[in-house]
Structure 1
Amino acid sequence: MSKILELREKRAKAWDAAKAFLDTKRGNDGLLSAEDTAVYEKMENDVVALGKEVERLERQAAIDLELSKATSNPIINQPNQQDGKLRTGRAADEYKVDFGQALRGKPLLHNVLSTGVDADGGYLVPTEFERQIVMGLEEANVIRSLAKVITTSAERKIPIAATHTTAQWTAENAAYTESSPTFAQKTIDAFKLTDLVKVSTELLQDSMFDLEAYIAQEFARAFGVAEEEAFCVGTGIGQPSGIFLASGGGTIGVTAGSTTNITVDNLIDLVYALKSPYRRNAVFLMKDVTVSALRKLKDSNGAYLWQPSVQQGQPDRFIGYPLYTSPYVPGVEAGALPIAFGDFSNYWIADRMGRSVQRLNELYAGNGQVGFLATERVDGKVILAEGIQLLQMAAS
């Protein structure tokens, strides 16, 4: 290794000397004489020769290192085991390989996909593939980053204390006053969300095309858009219930006095319409057009209420609270609900276990394409309405 370093230093000095010679020997016209040209070319050839020698020595060192390795390694773990943990089912490497083969319409190598066939005829995606899709959703969906996300295998019923007990001052020997707390129940189920991607057979035949990454990206984008719209304004019929529903969403805490204008007083009232325990983790949620209007609001001293974030990755703040935006929040118009303020962990998102992908070989064969159908089941619902307050514009 010292010989290589020595030659590198020698080559660097030779190149510096060649450049210095060139600078000093050029005439006013920028040209070299025939004698100087011959000298410079020799110096340049010497630099090239030193470089080739360095490359030869580096190759020798690499080969020596490779040949010095042991020809075999002892088996210290069990088959299908990584980092000391046994990997079976959809987490197994064999399952991932066969899943990629199935996507491309090629013969299965391990015949293990039978462990993951869903009721609709597709294959449950491998653990690594599914995790990639979930990460994509988290990046594209702001509601998922704010809400409480749970995983379910069946319908889940969530008990809620509708009313609380009330303590009473009681005189000595007097009868006790009974309290009758009541309980409600919210049910989170799962609604079916699908996406169909068509891929040309030419792309499938191209071994350099990363089919799995492309499909994961497309499904993540499409599912993220559909989910966030439903989490904001979904009707609850065949889709999740949105936060901005007048009935079934958050609580309407403040009604503005105008159909088109939001005042500072409206926003302050909205903040304090939320109970103080929820305000500890509360944030604003609105669309960009509404933010544009709020950025122009000033306090009584003429200072803007907007506080842009100075730290990368942190949200802007408004009246001291973080502010997030979504394009699917209603805009400012008569009777609309353009702003939500609250602790959004009171909005629950339930993911039903197992997203699946089905390959459609025949449906688009006439167009030289193959279809891939992705399916997921998800629900979303405001569980405790008092934890999210909504601002409503005047009806007229």
Structure 2
Amino acid sequence: MDVIERPVLDGARDKSDGAFGGYVRSGTTVELKAFTGTTGDSGGFAVPREIDAAIASVLKTVSPIRGIANVVAVGSAGYRKLITTGGTPSGWASETAARPETATPAFVELAPPMGELYANPSASQAMLDDAAFDVEGWLAEEIATEFARAEGQAFITGSGVNRPRGLLTGPISSARDGTRPFGTLQYLASGAPGAFGPAPDERLVDLIQSLRAPYRQGACFVMNAATSARIRKIKSGDGQFLWAPGLVAGQPATLLGYPVVEAEDMPDIAENACAIAFGNFRLGYLIAERAETAILRDPYSNKPFVTFYATRRVGGCVSDSEAIKLMKFATN
């Protein structure tokens, strides 16, 4: 019996690139087993797992909040979470005394604002035709860089309108835990406008201790490089530096025993600026996102360039306002 060989798909002859590489170069329709899914007849293809993993890796590097926050994958347009704002009240009674009814726990619905994050890089068709060019690596790097830049800003100062609500965007108060409204972060004053007041080491200790003990396990500092440069020069009363550099490659530096995460979207030290955040961000900040990044190849709108329109739906907000504390550079 004669064996009929299947013809090679046009645009996918270079087997070293894989089917997705052929699609990126020429837009040829290929077998769906080389993909994780499709987005319909418009030509959009879900990114393969290899590329999606590379995007996530770069996002954690450029957008550090993603690496320390609680990230959940959602399969719909929205995400809801119930949070209790207090335990069940109880009381004491003698052996034969009546047991009156106690109050029930209160719940708050948390709905992180979501928006569609997009990137729209372009490349010439001549460059895509170069067999020696790593098309998949270039595509992952371009998309990850664009997404990380937007995410890093949104997770810290995002307005919450068609994008995540940043941890510095919500209301703040100097009131202690249990007395502030839900969703309001507590701040501690530095003691001077736009600078550290007397005994900055004591101010930082107060910031740490304002976070209750259950949250301090896994807590870290978040600040930008300019702020960390100033803190590295601070000494305690006995002449010891508060800052301890990491002794092993890849290990973060510590401040008073807690890791320091540098996020360049945090504000510089200035009057009334909340330039330092300390807390357990795994419990305090929630990121909700769809699991897939979708890419649409457009070779027609901007000849001779090929545009790759990538989208990802991301949301975020403060989930536990008692898990994060701020230092405000003000007198009070």
Please classify the TM superposition score into its range, dividing by the shorter chain length. 0.7 to 0.9
The CA deviation at 1:174 is 3.0
CA positional deviation for 1:136: 2.2
Structure 2 distance, partners of 1:325, 1:209, is 33
- How far the C-alpha of 1:192 sits from its partner, in A, is 0.3
Contact 1:141 1:228 in 2 (8 A): yes
Q: Does 1:216 align with 2:140?
A: yes
Deviation at 1:180, TM superposition (A): 3.1
167, 182, 191: which is aligned to 2:115? 191
Matches for 1:180-329 after TM superposition, within 5 Å: 180-188=104-112, 190-247=114-171, 251-262=185-196, 263-329=200-266
SS for the counterpart of 1:269 is helix
- Alignment partner, residue 6 of structure 2: none
Q: Which consecutive unaligned segments of at least 5 residues does structure 2 have?
A: 1-14, 173-182
**% of aligned pairs identical?**
30
2:87 aligned partner: 164
1:333 offset after TM fit, Å? Answer: 1.4
Mapped to 1, the partners of 2:185 and 2:311 lie a distance apart of 32
The answer for the alignment partner of 1:143 in structure 2 is: 65
- CA 196–395 in structure 1, closer or farther in 2 if over 3 Å, else same: farther
| Local SS of the residue matching 1:116 | coil
What do residues 344-388 of structure 1 show as CA deviations (whole Å, max 9, x unaligned)?
1021211212211111111111xx211111111111121111011
Displacement of 1:183 in angstroms is: 1.0
Once the two structures are superposed, residues 290-328 of structure 1 have per-residue CA deviations (whole angstroms, 9 ceiling, x without a partner) of 111111211111221111111111111111111111100
Q: Distance in 1 between matches of 2:36 and 2:191?
A: 62
Distance 1:157 1:128, change over 3 A: same
Q: How many residue pairs get matched?
A: 300
Worse overlay, 324-333 or 167-176: 167-176
Pair 378,217 (structure 1): closer, same or farther in 2 beyond 3 Å: same
Alignment of 1:386 onto 2:322: yes
Which whole-Å CA distance do the structure 2 matches of 1:109 and 1:226 have between them?
32
> TM-score scaled to structure 2, two decimals?
0.83
- Structure 1: runs of 5 or more not aligned: 1-93
Kindly indicate whether the alpha-carbon contact (under 8 Å) linking 1:306 and 1:319 is maintained by their aligned counterparts in 2: yes
Partners of 1:339 and 1:308 lie apart in 2 by 18
| Bigger radius of gyration among the two | 1
Q: CA deviation at 1:124?
A: 1.3
The offset of 1:334, in angstroms, is 1.7
- Greater relative CO (CA pairs within 8 A, separation 6+): 2
Q: How many Å apart are 1:199 and its aligned residue? A: 0.3
Q: Please state how far the C-alpha of 1:106 moved relative to its aligned partner.
A: 4.7
